[in-house]
Structure 1
């Protein structure tokens, strides 16, 4: 899956997003870290890992436009801070250029990993 969408009142849980060409993946890991890989090499991370993971953790594309990672007890520990940033539905896309981007309904970007990679 290269993209996930969410609209008002609808949240979508993300385990892994792959670019269409398969070179990049955006993953919610068991160690509490969110990582973007290029061909199995990490090129971006949320730096939220823990040496004693207590998962499972959830990464959710919320209908309000916020991408949020949650502890098993429901407490958030990381967010894109993009709630109500534009009109929904919102879409998180793992692009073939290596950048993972959150867009609003008008295709305006509101958050990105800023990991564009040359071919």
Structure 2
């Protein structure tokens, strides 16, 4: 099923330690009109949190260093109200482990799942 293109392009920070998955996510978001910044680790991504991003999509398991949950908490603290989507194929975080307002999606996900979660968070932010 083809995902709808969002009417407003977002600047999305995508974080994934598996290069092919990161490239695929970035390509799919770009094809739908979004601007994507990419990072392969939480450390690299943390330096981009202050950039003018509209949303964060991060894997939980990011190899060595801080994980995606730590990054999500940092982003929520630095940028209150920032839409955050956390994904994982193994770890299933509890609601208490996620920053307020963050959404979790299990892997494998479809790009339509990511876009729907972004729509949900954008609508909640606008309300």
Query: Which is strand-richer, 1 or 2?
Result: 1
Q: TM-score over 0.5 for the alignment?
A: no
